[in-house]
Amino acid sequence: MVDDEMMKPRSLNPGYIRKEFEKKTGKLSHSTFMGSYASCLVASAWIQKHGRCALIPRMRYDSLGTRYSPQTHMPDYVRSRTLELITEMIERDNIDGSLAEVGVYKGHFSGQINTLLPSRKLYLFDTFDGFDESDKNKDYESGYISGCDFVDKAFKDTNIDLVLSKMVTPDMCVVKKGYFPESAGNIEDTFALVSLDCDLYEPMYAGLEYFYPRLSKGGFMMLHEYNYPGFRGVKPAVADYEKKYGQIPKIPIPDMAGTLVITK
C-alpha cells in the first residue's frame, strides 16, 4: 500500500497521507486514521527505507537502527518516539530510579528502553512461557478477551538469552522470571520508568498496585493496550485502581495499541 510516491518527504503530511490511503482503501473514519495505523505505517516504512524520519528530521535512526530491525521490533513509530521523548525528559529532569518492563516477551520494547537509558538498572519481568491460565480464564469470563488460538498459544516462543541479546548493556538487566506479581517480591528500589505490557486485567492491575507507589515524582508508566479492542481488560484495571486509590494523571497516545501514559 505504501508506494514510492507516498514516500517522498514533501508528501508526508497527514492530509496527503489520508487522501492517498483513501484512494486505495476507501473512506477512513477519523478514529481509524487518528488511531494511527495509516500514519504509523507510512512513518515506519519511511524509517525502514531511509534510516531516518522525514517528519522530524533531527531524529536519526541509524545509530539506534536495531530498534527498527525486523528481528527486534514490530515498528510502531508513535510508541517508540513517545518512549524516546519520555526518556529525554527523565534524563533532563534528573528523575531518579530504575526501569522495568512487565511483559517482555522477546525483548522488543525492553531493548528500546535499554538502548535509550543504558546505564540504568532494568528489571525484566515475564513468565517467559506466555499467559497464566487463571489470568487468561478470568479475562475470558469477564468478556475482556474472546476465545482464539492466538491467545491460548501466545508468547511462549521466547527465552531469556534471546531477550538479553537485544540489550546494549545486558549487565544492567535483572531478569525476574515467573508469575508477576509474585516474581517481584519486595524490591527495594524506586522507578523512573515502567512499561506494563501484560495484556490481561490481573497482571496490569497488579503492575499498577506494585509500581505506582514506587514511581519517582516526575517518573512515567506506559500501559500498552489501554485503548485496544483485542484486550479489553486494561482499561477496567486502571479504572478499578483509581476507584481504590484515587485518580492518577493519564495521557492516552494514538500508537498502534492505544498506550496509556501515566505520570506522577
Ligand X SMILES: C[S@@+](CC[C@H](N)C(=O)[O-])C[C@H]1O[C@@H](n2cnc3c(N)ncnc32)[C@H](O)[C@@H]1O
Q: x/- binding map, residues 163-182, to ligand X, per CB under 6 A?
A: ----------------xx--
| Binding of ligand X by 81 (CB under 6 A) | no
Tell which one of 21, 33, 68, 109 touches ligand X (CB under 6 A).
109
* Of residues 17 and 235, the one with the C-beta less far from ligand X: 235
| Binding of ligand X by 197 (CB under 6 A) | yes
Give the shortest CB-15-to-ligand X separation in angstroms.
31
Q: Which amino acid is it at 246?
A: G
Tell which one of 21, 46, 77, 105 touches ligand X (CB under 6 A).
105
Binding segment for ligand X (CB under 6 A), chosen from 81-89, 91-99, 100-108, 143-151, is 100-108
| Binding of ligand X by 255 (CB under 6 A) | no
Exposure string of 197-220, with b = 16+ CB inside 10 Å and e = fewer, is: bbbbbbbbbbbbebbbebbbeebb
Question: Please, is 139 exposed, middle or buried when counting C-beta atoms within 10 Å of its C-beta (0-12, 13-18, 19+)?
Answer: buried
- Chain Cα centroid distance, residue 246: 24
Helices (H), 26-175: 30-34, 37-50, 77-92, 108-116, 133-142, 149-153, 160-164
**Grid coordinates standing for 144?**
475482556
- Count of residues interacting with ligand X (CB under 6 A): 21
**12 touches 56 (CB < 8 A):** no
* Of residues 96 and 132, the one with the C-beta less far from ligand X: 132
| Binding of ligand X by 199 (CB under 6 A) | yes
Binding segment for ligand X (CB under 6 A), chosen from 31-39, 55-63, 198-206, 213-221, is 198-206
| Binding of ligand X by 211 (CB under 6 A) | no
**193 touches 112 (CB < 8 A):** no
Binding segment for ligand X (CB under 6 A), chosen from 143-151, 164-172, 191-199, 244-252, is 191-199
C-alpha span between 184 and 128 (Å, rounded): 15
Tell which one of 11, 52, 66, 132 touches ligand X (CB under 6 A).
132
Apex CA 163: angle with CA 159 and CA 168, to 5°? 160
| Binding of ligand X by 237 (CB under 6 A) | no
Q: x/- binding map, residues 136-165, to ligand X, per CB under 6 A?
A: -------------------x----------
Question: Please, is 182 exposed, middle or buried when counting C-beta atoms within 10 Å of its C-beta (0-12, 13-18, 19+)?
Answer: exposed
Residue from 175, 155, 154 nearest 106 by CA: 155
C-alpha span between 110 and 195 (Å, rounded): 8
Residue nearest ligand X, CB atom distance: 103
Binding site for ligand X (CB under 6 A): 101, 103-105, 108-109, 125-127, 130-132, 135, 155, 179-180, 197-200, 203
